[in-house]
Amino acid sequence: MVISLMRFIVIILLSLITLTQAYIVYADNESKGSNIDNKEIEKAVFAGGCFWCMQNPYDELKGVVSTTVGYTGGHVGNPTYEEVCAGNTGHAEAIEVLYNPSQISYAELLNVFWRNIDPTTLNRQFADVGTQYRTAIFYNSEEQKQSAESSKLEMERSGIYDDPIATEITPASTFYRAEDYHQKYYEKCPLKYKMYKSGSGREQYLEEMYGN
């Protein structure tokens, strides 16, 4: 009986030690994650028409920490999807990309942006028409602005497009997160997503222009 009791006490003590060690490791990891967020993670914001089609290309990239689709560039606070679609908020459907610049550069993010849009249409992307579907690069720093302008100039000189590039480069403003059902729509509703991307003409254009 005494031996069984001692074994029980030993087991309890070992369990407490294990839990304590696990907590220390967890806290250490949390601290490291917080340091990365504060010191290394940067933000990029792009508008490329329907935001459903802009999230998957960035989610696949090494160095991208997270992506969020939402609305930005307008004058209405906390807009709903319906309000933005009505075209009266001034907002564009957009994507916010958090990335680690030590693993992927802003220039690489810009390259992905160009290869997933038609930059020559003003206030339109494929079947979607209106200012809410304009293409835009919202820069968060002077360095991002210069990179965006250089990238745009490079695309203009590439000879890929028959028409002038209409994509705007503008300072970033408040980014409003879209409703949950829009986040990673390509995963939540893969069939509807594929039907939309093909039916809108985006898929065919990207394949023809860039071989996507």
Q: What is the pLDDT of residues 68-120, one digit of tens each?
A: 999 999 999 999 999 999 999 999 999 999 999 999 999 999 999 999 999 99
Is pLDDT of 10 > 90? no
State the pLDDT at residue 55: 98
State the pLDDT at residue 99: 98
State the pLDDT at residue 107: 98
Question: Is-catalytic flag, 53?
Answer: no
> pLDDT digit string (tens) for 121-179?
999 999 999 999 999 999 999 999 999 999 999 999 999 999 999 999 999 999 999 99
State the pLDDT at residue 115: 98
Q: pTM to 2 decimals?
A: 0.81
Q: How confident is the model at residue 37 (pLDDT cuts 50, 70, 90)?
A: low
State the pLDDT at residue 38: 52
State the pLDDT at residue 165: 98
Is pLDDT of 32 > 90? no
State the pLDDT at residue 105: 98
For 154, the token pair is 């490079």
Is pLDDT of 8 > 50? no
Is pLDDT of 14 > 90? no
Q: Give the mean model confidence (pLDDT) for residues 4-15.
A: 43
Q: How confident is the model at residue 212 (pLDDT cuts 50, 70, 90)?
A: confident
Mean of pLDDT over the chain:
87
Q: Tell me which of 50, 53, 85, 189 is the catalytic residue.
A: 50
